[in-house]
Structure 1
């Protein structure tokens, strides 16, 4: 779910203030929202300026996380951050299990069949609940929707920027 912004990874979006003491309501955009409880600092891109904010307090509240940053003690100051994303450097990403990837790593991969035919490039990943769907741009044709299943996706090589798939019968028709 995390997305890449200017070399940083967005892990949450500030959507509103919480109370009048400078707390902010965050929608997590990470699969690891528990990270907010132990974070000491986070980057915020506000009007093109990257700033580092120290986390003073963090706690879950309904489907949000509430964060309080050091030095932001009033609702008016907190309101200036509404709409900003919370960012971390890539080095601070949570490690993933083998053969699982972040969406921003998958987007842009060239997709090939087992016989070497290039199908196109992954332009989006749709999260359906059951399994992800990779949208492959095929230039002059409609996008191809490929299920992210082990029997379909045979290899992902991030270093080479490619994915090898074995399409189920009739998928390209």
Structure 2
């Protein structure tokens, strides 16, 4: 059985011909939604109903407007209000080298150069030219680290580890006490 992940939610019906507005979850790279060939609705504990996109376009504001082949009219579209959409990981577009899906990063342990665990990756925030990793420390503080090659040294999905080397002042200005191993 292939692995399915949640990708977004059907917010509401749109128009009279069965279109629905889909809001992607922030844990997925939203721009890939139009490239996905098949979505799924969970019908029971471990059963899913496939939905094949007939058309997709950017929605006014946020999200996308999808017309699924299986949804013929507004009534059928309204019945999907607030339903979660799933996708098979295998149906996601291939990544470029050194590219990652956000859901792959969430949960990774972030390690500093001395081997100390900074915390666990909780998400990614776009902030202009780059993204910020949101890392929750064991003390339950949130630290934001720029997702740039100068700081992110290695991402090892198999080991579940993200190796980083941030400047000490970046951590200190966010209230994280940098302790040396000499203490």
So what's the TM-score if we normalise by structure 1?
0.80
Q: Please tell me the root mean square deviation across aligned C-alpha atoms, in Å.
A: 2.4
In structure 2, the CA distance between the partners of 1:140 and 1:23, relative to structure 1 (3 Å rule), is: closer
Separation (CA, whole Å) in 2 of partners of 1:129 and 1:50: 40
8 A contact 1:25–1:67 mirrored in 2 = no
8 A contact 1:43–1:50 mirrored in 2 = no
8 A contact 1:23–1:69 mirrored in 2 = no
Aligned to 2:19: 23
Separation (CA, whole Å) in 2 of partners of 1:49 and 1:73: 25
Between Structure 1 and Structure 2, how many residues are aligned? 163
Gaps of 5+ in 1: 1-6
Which digits, 9 at most, give the CA deviation of each residue in 1:131-155, with x for residues without a partner? 1111222222622211111000001
* Offset, 1:55: 2.7
8 A contact 2:5–2:88 mirrored in 1 = yes
Gaps of 5+ in 2: 173-183
Separation (CA, whole Å) in 1 of partners of 2:158 and 2:114: 20
Separation (CA, whole Å) in 2 of partners of 1:166 and 1:50: 44
So what's the TM-score if we normalise by structure 2?
0.76
